[in-house]
A and B are shown apart, each in its own frame.
Chain A
Amino acid sequence: MATAQSDHIRAAIQQRNRRSRSSRIVDWVRTKPEGGIAVLFLAVQLVVIAVSLANPSFRYLDAANIAVTLKAIAPLGVMALGVSILMIAGEFDLSVGALYSFCSIVAATLTMTWGGDSGADVPSAIAPFAGLAVGLLIGALAGVLHAVITLRFNIPSFITTLGAMLMWKGATLLYHGAQSLRFKPSEPFNTLFNSSIGVVHASMIWFLLLAVAFYFLLHHHRLGNHFFAVGGNRNAAVAIGVNPVRTKIIAFGICGFMAAFSGILAGTRVMSIQPGGGLGLELQAIAACVIGGAALNGGRGSILGVVLGTALMYTIQDLLLLLRAPGFYFDMFVGGLIVISVITNMAIRRKG
């Protein structure tokens, strides 16, 4: 009996699965925010590639330009992955930029102290990894701390992490001072995090590996399902039996961990760390998530969207640099892009 009554549903699904690939792609673009951003991203790439093929003085396709863009994407992308998980779970962390600086400075200082500098007489191979581990641990614990304060006192995470942002910024100056810090870790750490395969820098490979891992976590793992549930409708999640406190603590922890990792990746690449280098990154990371279709009030978002959002931001930045436009154009373009992408996402959502 049950099967007979389900027949019309099965038939509808079969019909859906029989559609041609092109109509599936059209549906994906029309109903999913990441589909829309993918189209925009491809369109921008096609136009720019066409222009640079026609006009060789426009150096978009130069190996050097591609290498620089790929290098630039990774740190913000890694941070945005963590931020997107937390946004989907319905919370913010404004302190990721400050954590980016603090954790990388701690990791670099410890690496130096433990003899992991490549300029040392007998550089220690393990020291940079130990420094990395401590930095990542501090990032994750800081995230958990933000979560516990937010949830224990039931205040908006916006406020908790606004306070935390200033606190970690101050802590960075207290711990290290305002001067920049040299960071040239020994081998094999340097090769793992600061070599290139062709135009692809190691940090980009780490970003892509993490993006794949996050994709499976968010879209195919039980925990990812709970992030969406807790961010989408916290009361429903409680009623159904998902523990929102545990879920959000994990999301904050992941976010802090990723902020630390992104800081250390960036520090390894440029071989020095500025104590103020992470400031403003938190808003860029949120912007990348929003452009990629994450909802500001939780429950929506995708890893593909975050990757494309970050890539699109840096493509625009790269184009403006190639056109020798002053830096403020970048902010103006990204600002416009954020608003436009949210408007189109809302339109997509209403259409269903």
Chain B
Amino acid sequence: MSDLQIIEPEEKPIKGLRPTETPLLEMRNITKRYGAFVALNSMNFYIGRNEVVGLLGDNGAGKSTLVKMMSGINPPTSGEILANGKPVNFNSRADSEAAGIETIYQDIALVDQMSITRNIFLGREITNAFGFMDHKAMEDKAIDILGSAVQISGIEDPDKEVGFLSGGQKQAVAIARAVYFKRNILLLDEPTSALSVRETEHLLAYVRDLKNQGTSSVLVTHNLYHAFQVCDRFVVMSHGAKVYEARKEDTSIEEVTYHVIRT
């Protein structure tokens, strides 16, 4: 079989930019294997203070694997994770929660059969010493959160089952949850895929607002125009590795598009 060719990825993995100050979260030399399959290969990634990072790449590039790792539900095979410069282990959701990370998932992580209030407080119920829930306190807070955090219309009853909400409203509830619990890093995995145009604008504006209030975000998206509206830095992945990284001021939408398509 002499005509067998090995097709190399067109772009070689690169080291990328170095953080200038201690980042909120830094991943060094991260490798993730599933058996023989390498999902992430010596990946370096960081999230600085007051910045929005765009994580780009085609399907199967390893973006979701990386996001799941940062949210603690998918520990790395090898590599180092540092939160505020200190090495940490991310073995469960509780570990990433301690580092101040909240994730808004592509397949929205809400329980359809439960009310908005119960979803917002799921896993962090307001309870008395015996574990019994204080429904009144949770409803009061939910009303405040829904009014202040995300102005997406149509949510008038925190008692409503989440299954009856639209995609945008569900996203709003997920974001409201993240905001209320004062996270300093928000991971948004394809957050706009289920949203209408207007809801998308709301969401992107909201990500910018959050940045000004001190919450950094990672935006995983296919839509480079959305990414260009809000991101300060772009990381392009391919085959589980970083192939391009640039600050917004050093690049253009054409250049980023080129690197996403080439991979």
Contacts and interface: CB of A to CB of B under 8 A. Distances in A.
A222 B126 CA distance: 9
B156 A240 contact: no
Given A9-B143, A242-B123, A229 B157 contact: no
Nearest to A233: B111
A223 B131 contact: yes
Given A235-B109, A242-B123, A5 B114 contact: no
A240 B131 contact: no
B111 A222 contact: no
Interface stretch (A10-18, A110-118, A205-213, A279-287): A10-18
A216 interface: yes
Contacts of B157: 9, 12-13, 16
Interface string B138-182: 010001101110010001111101001000000000000000000
A221 B73 contact: no
A7 B71 CA distance: 34
Contact of B147 (A6, A16, A225, A239): A6
Instruction: Name the prevailing secondary structure of the B interface residues.
Output: loop
Interface string A231-249: 1110111111110000000
A21 interface: no
Contact of B148 (A5, A12, A16): A5
A3 B144 contact: yes
Interface in B84-100: 92-94, 97
B113 interface: yes
Contacts of A300: 113
7 contacts: A9-B156, A12-B156, A13-B143, A221-B133, A229-B111, A229-B123, A235-B107
Given A9-B157, A239-B73, A352-B161, 13 more contacts: A5-B147, A5-B148, A8-B147, A9-B143, A9-B146, A10-B143, A220-B132, A220-B135, A225-B133, A232-B112, A236-B109, A238-B73, A238-B93
Q: Lowest 9 CB-CB distances: which A-B pairs, in order?
A: A6-B147, A2-B148, A299-B113, A5-B147, A241-B93, A239-B109, A232-B111, A232-B113, A236-B109
